[in-house]
Amino acid sequence: MPNTPLTQEQIAAIRSFINKRGFSTIEVEMEALDHMASKIEALLEENPDMNFDLAITKAHASFGIYGLSTLAESIEGSLLQRFKRQFFKELLSYFNSTKIFTPMALTALGYFLMTQYPPNDKGLLLRLGFLIYGFLLAIIPYYILRKGMKRWNKKSSFVKMSTYGLYITQFGFGQIFGIATETLYKSGSLTFPYVFVAGFVLTSLTIFINYDLMKWGIATVNEKWAKYMPEVAV
């Protein structure tokens, strides 16, 4: 937000103007607010006697025939790219820092569990086991971060993306590796142990990555955007 002489009441009026155009997520709202406030500040600096409502109208018109819609599309695209960069950052952190001990420990645990698998089972426990395991893992981070998730889930693009990512990856890995390991086990494939361990590690590791993304999404809203919304600030 620029260092502008606009009052809190004026900023609230701009936010109300923006929200009436359907930009309800915090990220888009604050970026649009930043652009609008900058333009309005410039207009009022040129003409201090200008009516504030007129300044809002002129600032909005300066974005072209589609107004803030084009700006919002650009902002939403940049938010997705930023989320992707953060995902890969969190992923790589488990292989280029002390966090590397996490996948190493998961590999050892996965191998141990594989050796304990009932030899007389027909593979049904594999499918159900991975599916239930993935489902339970999806619940844990949401429960831990439930306060922040409830506060921001319907208001923040980052929190929404991290939540959807959590459910999709955990359910997806649970299904994929459950079916794959069951099939390989029934066929007696020599690749079964490797796929089992890899499935356990990836299913488990995604929970840590998603948890980090959820924390990052909540912290980003709290620290960078919520300060402009004192009525909902943490």
Q: Residue 159: how many CB atoms within 10 A of its CB? A: 27
On whether residue 82 sits in a domain, the answer given is no
Domain match, 135 and 61 both: no
On whether residue 45 sits in a domain, the answer given is yes
Question: Which pLDDT score is estimated for 198?
Answer: 94
Residue type, 206: T
Spatial CB neighbours of 142, under 8 Å, sequence gap ≥ 6: 149, 163, 166, 214
Q: Residue 154: how many CB atoms within 10 A of its CB? A: 11
Domain match, 172 and 213 both: yes
On whether residue 113 sits in a domain, the answer given is yes
| Tens of pLDDT, residue by residue, the chain (234 residues) | 444 468 888 888 888 888 777 766 778 778 888 888 888 999 988 888 888 989 888 888 887 766 677 777 777 778 888 888 999 999 999 988 888 999 999 999 999 998 888 877 777 888 888 888 888 888 888 788 888 777 777 778 888 888 888 888 888 888 899 899 999 988 889 999 999 999 999 999 988 898 898 888 888 877 766 555 555 444
On whether residue 172 sits in a domain, the answer given is yes
On whether residue 89 sits in a domain, the answer given is no
On whether residue 123 sits in a domain, the answer given is yes
- Helix (H) and strand (E) counts for the chain? 9, 0
Domain match, 27 and 54 both: yes
Domain match, 67 and 113 both: no
Dist CA 133 CA 135 (whole Å): 5
Domain match, 144 and 217 both: yes
Residues 220-234 as b/e (b if ≥16 CB within 10 A, e otherwise) read bbbeebbebbeeeee
Domain limits for position 121: 94-228
Domain match, 62 and 110 both: no
Domain match, 70 and 116 both: no
On whether residue 191 sits in a domain, the answer given is yes
Give burial (CB, 10 Å; 0-12/13-18/19+) of 72.
buried
Contact of 166 with 142, CB cutoff 8 Å: yes
Residue count of the chain, please give it: 234
Q: How far is the CA of 25 from the CAs of 50, 123, 176, in angstroms? A: 30, 45, 33
Domain match, 135 and 72 both: no
Dist CA 181 CA 227 (whole Å): 49
Q: What is the largest CA-CA distance in the chain?
A: 85
Tell me how many domains the chain contains: 2
Domain match, 24 and 132 both: no
Q: Is the four-CA dihedral 107, 110, 115, 121 of positive or negative sign?
A: negative
Domain match, 68 and 135 both: no
Domain match, 144 and 221 both: yes
Q: How far is the CA of 38 from the CAs of 2, 11, 35, 60, in angstroms? A: 7, 11, 5, 11
Domain match, 107 and 220 both: yes
On whether residue 88 sits in a domain, the answer given is no
